[in-house]
Amino acid sequence: MAVKSLLKQVGAALAIGAALWAQTSSAAPAADERPNFLIIMADDLGYSDVGAYGGEIDTPNIDRLASGGLQFTNFYNSARCSPSRANLLTGRYAHRVGMGENGGSMSVDVRTVAQELKDAHYRTAMVGKWHLTRATPLADPAEHLKWINHQAYLERDFGDRSTYPAARGFETHYGLIWGVSSYFDPFSLVEGFEPVRTVPKDFYLTDALSDRAVSDIESFAKDERPFFMYLAYTAPHWPLHAPEQAIAKYRGRYDGGWEQLHEARYARQVKLGLIDPKTAPKAQLSGDWAQNPEKPWAQLSQAERAQAAAKMPVHAAMIDVMDQGIGRVIDALKRTGQYENTVVVFLADNGASPETMTGTQGYQPGYDRQSETRDGRKIHYGADQPALGSETSMAGIGAYWANAANTPWRYWKAEAYDGGVHTPFIVSWPKGLKLKPGTRVDTLGHIMDIAPTFFELAGVQPRTEGQPPIDGISLASALAGKKTSRGKPLFFEHEGSRAVILDDWKLVARAPGPKSKVYAPWSLYHLKTDRTETRDLIKAEPKRAATMAKLWNEWSTSVHARQRSEP
C-alpha cells in the first residue's frame, strides 16, 4: 500500500498512529498520530500578489509558510470559484460532480474529502465561503433586493440544505453559502444551517473567519483525534472592501499604473529565481476583457488614472488583512501544539479577476449584489466611487490590474491561460516534510490532487462504489522529495475556455463569450521554452495540435462538458 512506504519516510510515530487506526473501525486510537490537515484558500488572488511569488504586498505569514515548507511553481486550478472548490473537495474534474459551470449545486451523490476523513475518525470543520449550493433568488426583484439588503428577513434557506457544508461532512461551518457578499455585513452568512442575521458594528468578514478558525483549532486541540479544516477566505474577491487603516498603508504605491507594477513584479520574480526570462519571456499586459475592455494607462486622463490607482490599495489591504489572520491561525496551531504535525496548504481558486461594475453584462444590483446597506444607504456602482473600499462601494480592480496581479502569466480569472488557472501553492508540514525548507517543486499539480494526497497521508481508502473515478493523483511522493509524474494529460474547461497540457505542451483557447455557441480558436505553446504563452506554434505544429485537440474533445465528451462548435 502506497501510504506505508510514505509513512516510513515521515517518522515511526506517524506509522504507529496509522497502524493503530487501521485496527479499529469504531473509535479513534488513544494516541492518533496521523497528521492534521488545514487548507487555506484565497479567492481571486493574483499569482504574484503574495510576496513569496514576487509581490510587494505585505504577506509575511504566507511567505514564512513558503520559506519553511515547499513552494510549488507548476500548480493549477480550474479558473473559477465553484469548479475549483468542487475539484478540491472531491478530487475530481468539476464536470463529474455537476460543477462544470459556475454557481450550481455540487452533486450530493459524490462523497467529499470531509466525509471520507470524518468516517476515518477525523474532526472536520469549514470556515468561510462555500459557493457549491445553487443560489435561489426570489421571483420578485424588489423583494429579492430587500432580502439581500438585510431589509427583510425571510423564513427560507439560501439554497437546498442537503447541499450545505454541514450536510457534506463538516461537523461545523461558519461562513457564506453564496459566492459574493459585503465584507462588512455579509449576506448568506450561516452557522451550520442557521442564518446569522446580525453582525457587530465593527464586523469585517476576513477577520471574523480568521477568529473562528483560531477558535476551532483551540477546540480541536482538546481532542486526541486529528482534524481537517477548510478555511476558505473571500479575500480579495470583489467588492473591494477593507478597513480604512489597512487601505491607508498602501495609498500611493500604485500611482505609477499597471505597467509599472507588472515590470516590478516580473523583475522581482526573476531575481527570486521563480522564472527565467529566457524560458518565460515577459508577456504584454492586456485589457481585452470581453465584458468591459479597458484603455491602456497611457490613454487615461488624470482623473481616470486617479480612479484606477485607488483600487489596488484596497485589493492589497484585503490581502494584508487576510495574511494577518493567517498569522493568528498559525500561532494557534503552535500555541496548542498542533503545528508540527499539521499539513497546511495555501492556494487560490483562480487568478485575479478582471470584473468591474461598469460593464454591460448585468453588473448592477440584484442576484447576489446589494443595492443598499441595511440602514438604507445607497451602494455605488460604476466608475464613480466616492467611498471606495467602504460598505457603500461596489467595485472590482478590472482587467489591466488583474493581468498585472497575475504576473508573469497572461489574462485572468475564467480563462484557461495561466493567468486564470495557475495558482500559488505552498505546503507546510514541519514533522513530515523531508526536503530542505524553502525548496521549490516544479511537479505538475492540480487542485484536485489535494484530496488523494490527504487520503494517502491519512491512510484512508475512499469509497469507490457508486462514485465517479477520482481524477487527481496523490502528491505524497512529491512531498517526500521523489519525482512524481501524472502519466496522463491535464484538462481544463470552463464556460468555453479550454486547454490541455501534455508533457511540455499546452493547447489553449480563450472563453468565447457567455452566449456564444462557438469555441474560440486554439493556440499551441511549448511550455519548456515559452512558459508565459507568448509564441503561438499552432501553424508550425499542426499535427501535434490536432492530436491534443482530439484528446481534449474525447475528454470533454466523457465528462459531459457543455459542447460548442469549432470556429
Is residue 477 a contact partner of residue 432, using CB atoms and an 8 Å limit? Answer: no
Order of strands across the sheet that contains 194-195:
194-195, 189-191, 172-176, 123-128, 227-232, 36-42, 342-348, 425-428, 70-72, 439-441
Is 121 tagged catalytic? no
Structural contact between residues 551 and 500, judged by C-beta atoms closer than 8 angstroms: yes
CA distance 361 to 247: 29
CA–CA distance, 267 with 272 (Å, rounded to integer) = 9
Dist. CA 331–CA 26, nearest whole Å: 33
Give CA–CA dist 148/178, Å, rounded.
11
* CA atoms within a 13 Å half-sphere pointing along the CA-CB vector of 422: 26
- Bridge partners for 155 per DSSP: none
Taking the C-alpha atoms of residue 187 and residue 144, their distance in angstroms, rounded to an integer, is 12
Concatenating the DSSP letter of every residue in 75-87 gives EE--SSHHHHHHH
Q: What gap in Å lies between CA 315 and CA 322, rounded to an integer?
A: 11
Q: Does the annotation count 81 as an active-site position?
A: yes
Tell me which of 95, 121, 131, 241 is the catalytic residue. Answer: 131
How far is 454 from 227, CA to CA, in rounded Å? 12
Phi, psi of 432 (to 5 degrees): -105, -25
Which residue in 551, 506, 497 sits closest to 531, CA to CA? 506
- Edge-to-edge, what's the strand order for the sheet holding 497-502? 490-494, 497-502, 505-509, 523-526
Residue type present at position 231? L
Annotated active-site positions, please? Answer: 81, 131
